[in-house]
Amino acid sequence: MEPRILDGRAVAAQVKAEVAAEVRAYRERYGEPPGLAVILIGDNPASQTYVRNKETACREVGIASAVYHLEAVTPAESVYRLLRQLNERSDIHGILVQLPLPPHLDPQAIIEAIRPEKDVDGFHPLNVGRLATGGPCLVPCTPRGIITLLERSGISIRGKHAVVVGRSNIVGKPAALLLLQRDATVTVCHSRTPDLAIVTRCADILVVAVGRPQMITGEMVKEGAVVVDVGINRVEGKLVGDVDFATVAPRAGAITPVPGGVGPMTVAMLLANTVEAARRLAGSPEAD
Ligand code: GUN
């Protein structure tokens, strides 16, 4: 049977239209747009592309973005100084440091130097802890994008067995927490899981975020499962996911394509997080 294609581009366009309206309302009320600062350190080509996409998306919805492109050899102290300035600025409501960082910089220490209220990636321990305990927080963009894509596609999560493959702080762990919050039964698998296929075949909802091209193949997926592919891998000049679309799609009930699935949702959620951060910083009651 043909699976349903979960169209991240279409849902992201809906979200962006809503964010654009929120940005207009914010501007009318406060006289300035929400502002996002993006820090890019070094010349990682994939990071440069992601940052360009984020800038373009900000422009589309009316968020003021400022990109700080620092040299790969920038000393840690200069990064902290910039973060202290951005933390203080009233026209900057969101701060994002693009990962990965050059090896001399400690990503956790840098994340912790971002004011949690401006941490639009949701990576600061205060936001991570609030996500785990169910408090108000900024939610990491890719996991929030996955949930929004499922919910807006009419896929119910409650009572389902969700299997998350990958345990990164950016995707796997927060995705598992959000699914659990929505009453899924959640299993998290990783590189040390023996007999991965036995577990993935139990999934009603399978979320794959491992960064290994096409590692999930048809026989690892239950008939009718909802498959969410977070991978973006470049293989022989072509973008492919962590899911082998050709063998998985015929068994799946619904599946995200790569490109055009989770990727556009991540960017849309960054915009939503930036407006949310701006409203909370302004003390606006609509923020929650
Ligand atoms: N690198 C890959 N994904 C992300 C993300 O969601 N946020 C940041 N800051 N860097 C990333």
- CA-to-CA distance for 267 and 232, rounded, in angstroms? 14
pLDDT given for residue 1 in this prediction:
76
Asked about 54 being catalytic, the answer comes back as yes
Residue 287 pLDDT more than 70? no
Mean pLDDT across the stretch 93-113? Answer: 98
Asked about 121 being catalytic, the answer comes back as yes
Q: Does ligand 1 lie within 6 Å of residue 141's CB atom?
A: yes
pLDDT given for residue 285 in this prediction:
55
User: Atom 4 in ligand 1: which residue has the minimum CA distance?
Assistant: 99
Percentage of the chain beyond pLDDT 90 is 98
Q: Does ligand 1 lie within 6 Å of residue 170's CB atom?
A: yes
Q: Which of 41, 50, 54 for a ligand 1 pocket mutation test, highest count of atoms within 8 Å of Cβ? A: 50
pLDDT digits (tens, 9 = 90+) for 154-165: 999 999 999 999
Q: Does ligand 1 lie within 6 Å of residue 95's CB atom?
A: no
pLDDT digits (tens, 9 = 90+) for 15-36: 999 999 999 999 999 999 999 9
pLDDT given for residue 139 in this prediction:
98
- Give the distance (Å) from ligand 1 centre to CA of residue 79: 17
Asked about 85 being catalytic, the answer comes back as no
Radius of gyration of the chain (CA): 19
pLDDT digits (tens, 9 = 90+) for 28-73: 999 999 999 999 999 999 999 999 999 999 999 999 999 999 999 9
Q: Are 176 and 160 in contact (CB under 8 A)?
A: no
Residue 284 pLDDT more than 90? no
pLDDT given for residue 286 in this prediction:
58
pLDDT given for residue 10 in this prediction:
98
What average pLDDT does the structure give for the chain?
Answer: 97
Buried b / exposed e along 64-84 (16+ C-beta atoms within 10 A): bbebbebeeebeeeebeebbe
Enter the tokens of residue 221. 């997926």
